[in-house]
Amino acid sequence: MRIALLHSRIRIEERLLIDALTSRNIDHDVIDLREQTFDIHEPGRWTDYDAAIDRCISQTHALAATRVIERFGVPTINPASVIEACGDKLTTSLLLARDGVPTPRVRVALDEAAALAAIEHIGYPCVLKPTTGSWGRLLARINDRDAAEAIIEHKSTLGSVAHSVFYVQEYVDKPQRDLRVFVVGTQAICGISRQSDHWITNTARGGRAGALTITRDIADISARAARSVAGESGGLLAIDLLECPRRGLLVSEINHTMEFRNSIEPTGVDIPGRMIDWVIERARAGAEAAAGVSA
């Protein structure tokens, strides 16, 4: 078996994944996508791989590369469809809504006046998010109409074209924390709570990680969310949950290139090891399926 680990920078997470491959005696290549060119007519060495793990930090680049590599017949983890589903918050919300997975209410608008109308419809406070991006960047809690008008104008004037899609989400009055659940396949293997005095609780923004007990409700909603974006087999996903005082657990976001460096110690779970074990399992299943087809 041979595995490709695709990256655009080696962070602690990628190091730990490489260590997990090495400790399992899995042949692997660490491939910097920035250095690659793909001949879309000629797979070349890519067919040597039984699977490719995407760890590219740019969602745009990850999506392009996995599309090409999948076209060559190499399974990618996560697949391009999952990157597409998770990398765009609107797509994530649409899939969750389609499948009846509890999630905050969302309205979308494509024009400044319509954005204001969407915000007023959701009510104050509400949250305006870019549809792409991560780490809690450029989130805005809007408390009143004055703030709404100002932020809409700023996004229209200063933002890239991506900011012309106004994604308005209800504000969930959560108890100073949100929950992050690590899912392998469709199984919630562990989770953390992210505590913060600020309404943005991402650890990238100073949220403090604490241990989380995976209850049946957490496991259930996480599995449903994983199936919604990744199908029956699921994927390697970090699912962010909000505890709504009225409606219970809500799926806020789903991350397809999960960061876990701060979560191994509080959970006591070998997250990279569990990820790699699943990749090996998927690669073997893919190889057996291919052998069955050719036999």
Partner 1 sequence: MSNAANTVTTSHQVECPECGASVRFARAPLAGEVTRCTGCRAELEVTSLSPLRVELAPEVQEDWGE
Residues forming the site for partner 1 (CB under 8 A): 7-11, 15, 18, 30, 32, 57-60, 87, 130, 132-135, 137, 160, 162, 238, 255-259
Give whole-number Cα distances, 215 to 14, 108, 179, 248, 281, in Å. Answer: 29, 33, 12, 13, 26
Measured from the CB atom, the residue of 3 and 122 that comes closer to partner 1 is: 3
Of 46 and 260, nearer to partner 1 (C-beta) is 260
Query: What minimum distance in Å lies between the beta carbon of 11 and partner 1?
Result: 6
Q: Cβ of residue 291: shortest distance to partner 1, in angstroms?
A: 33
Q: What is the closest distance, in whole angstroms, from the C-beta atom of residue 198 to partner 1 in the complex? A: 18
Question: Taking the complex as a whole, how short is the minimal distance between the CB of residue 40 and partner 1, in angstroms?
Answer: 22
DSSP string, 127-174: EEE-SS--TTTT-EEE-SHHHHHHHHHHHHHHS-GGGGSEEEEEPP--
* Alpha-carbon distances of 46 from 39, 65, 181, 205, 235, rounded to whole Å: 11, 11, 32, 38, 22
Q: Which residue has the tokens 């036999």?
A: 295
Instruction: Decide if 234 contacts 227 (C-beta within 8 A).
Output: yes
- How far is 84 from 133, CA to CA, in rounded Å? 13
Residue closer to partner 1, measured from CB, 117 or 269: 269
- Measured from the CB of residue 60, what is the shortest distance to partner 1 in angstroms? 5
Q: Which is nearer to partner 1, 58 or 195 (CB)?
A: 58
Choice between 87 and 104, CB closer to partner 1: 87
The least CB distance from residue 115 to partner 1, in Å, is: 19
Element (H, E) at 61: helix 59-71
Q: Whose Cβ is closer to partner 1: residue 60's or residue 143's? A: 60
Token pair, residue 113, equals 């006046």
Nearest distance from residue 255's CB to partner 1, in Å?
A: 4
Rounded to an integer, what distance in angstroms lies between the CA atom of residue 265 and that of residue 281?
A: 25
Nearer Cβ to partner 1 (222/257)? 257
Q: Quick check: 74 and 1 in contact, CB under 8 A?
A: no
